[in-house]
């Protein structure tokens, strides 16, 4: 996954600090090229446990499958899940099966995966599978030369690989796979060009002129309407609207994202909204700050009142809105919740919470 996208959801990666196993990178560097390519027959899909949905014992001809590799520690993976759920709802009656596939690693145990699917699965609704070995991971991901997640594979009606890549492009792939107009090689080349455009958009977001950055983003969305709602665009667009003094538009976008997020228990989207609306650009707008608090409270509701990231996000949002007492209260709750989390996330939460206590000391002077 490109670094610009990772930056958008950096905190979601704190539990692991990478989008793939470093061993994979070493292995890839010694290999002449991927052994699994677009057009090849799909490998077997084996799982130790099917956590949600019917077990897929074999990939059947005449059906289409989307197999997405993910992990509980992968923030960008979780960001994409509500969109995958939307596509599942759209295509489930058309012979498409969506499978979220994950394998055991030191930070992705069966217990963690099971708990995640138990909490999020009922709303997401698509199929989830877990493997306690890497046989299938190696047959798909390593064989395709992929070591970053999320990574999706589309298997067409001939049980051949039609697409390998980021799930944010599935809206362009699936309709054509279903109607038979998808040309595997030509489609991959076209998506490569669009991917370059996406990279260009994210580069343009660093332009010192927010109007120019906003134009680059909106021009891309107009040119590729199927990709207009890529979740990674939400945070940058909100920030640019605020920097461009388009607060009414920012409010409308935030409300639309929040409504959609509530339907899917999309904690990451709610975090994105609350973070943007408590920024310096919105600090004097009480209406936007109130909306930021609502989004942060919604994140806690979606993620759970024992979720350290959601709690520290709410604490930070209360602090920005001027409620320092609640900021310290939820900061303490976040520190307690983080005691069972990874070292990276624990350190982040503790550092954030210290800021609220430091402010309290300043107030007493």
Read off the pLDDT of residues 163-222 as tens digits, 9 standing for 90 and up: 999 999 999 999 999 999 999 889 989 999 999 999 999 999 888 899 999 999 999 999
pLDDT of 142-170, one tens digit each? 999 998 999 999 999 999 999 999 999 99
pLDDT confidence bin for 358, thresholds 50/70/90 = confident
pLDDT of 277-295, one tens digit each? 999 999 899 999 999 999 9
Q: Domain 3-192 has what CATH class? A: alpha beta
- Angle, CA 237 vertex, CA 15 and CA 203 arms, to 5°: 75
Distance of CA 113 to CAs 41, 105, 221, Å? 28, 11, 34
* Segments making up each domain of the chain, as ranges: 3-192, 205-302, 305-365
């Amino acid at each position: 996954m490109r670094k610009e996208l990772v930056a958008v959801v950096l905190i979601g990666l704190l539990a692991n600090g990478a989008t793939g196993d470093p061993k994979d990178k070493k292995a890839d560097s010694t290999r002449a090229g991927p052994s699994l390519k677009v057009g090849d027959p799909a490998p077997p899909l084996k799982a130790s446990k099917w956590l949600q949905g019917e077990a897929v014992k074999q990939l059947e001809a005449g059906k289409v499958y989307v197999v997405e590799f993910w992990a509980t520690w992968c923030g960008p993976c979780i960001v994409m899940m509500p969109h995958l759920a939307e596509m599942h709802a759209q295509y489930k009656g058309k012979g498409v099966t969506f499978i979220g596939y994950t394998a055991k690693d030191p930070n992705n145990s069966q217990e963690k995966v099971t708990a995640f699917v138990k909490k999020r699965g009922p709303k997401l609704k698509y199929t989830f599978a877990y493997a306690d070995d890497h046989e299938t991971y190696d047959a798909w991901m390593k064989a395709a030369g992929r070591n970053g997640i999320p990574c999706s594979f589309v298997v067409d009606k001939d049980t051949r690989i039609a697409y390998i890549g980021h799930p944010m492009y599935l809206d362009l792939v699936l309709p054509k796979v279903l109607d038979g107009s998808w040309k595997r090689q030509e489609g991959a080349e076209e998506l490569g060009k669009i991917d370059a455009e996406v990279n260009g958009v994210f580069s343009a977001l660093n332009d010192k002129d927010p109007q120019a950055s906003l134009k680059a983003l909106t021009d891309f969305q107009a040119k590729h309407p199927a990709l207009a709602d890529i979740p990674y665009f939400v945070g940058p667009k909100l920030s640019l609207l605020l920097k461009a003094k388009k607060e009414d538009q920012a409010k409308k976008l935030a409300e639309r994202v929040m409504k959609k997020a509530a339907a899917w228990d999309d904690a990451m989207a709610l975090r994105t909204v609350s973070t943007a609306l408590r920024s310096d650009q919105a600090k004097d707008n009480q209406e936007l700050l109130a909306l930021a608090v609502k989004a942060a409270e919604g994140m806690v509701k979606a993620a759970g009142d024992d979720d350290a990231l959601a709690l520290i996000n709410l604490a930070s949002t209360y602090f920005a809105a001027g409620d320092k007492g609640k900021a310290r209260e939820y900061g303490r709750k976040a520190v307690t919740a983080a005691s069972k989390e990874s070292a990276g996330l624990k350190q982040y939460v503790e550092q954030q919470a210290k800021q609220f206590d430091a402010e309290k000391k300043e107030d007493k002077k």
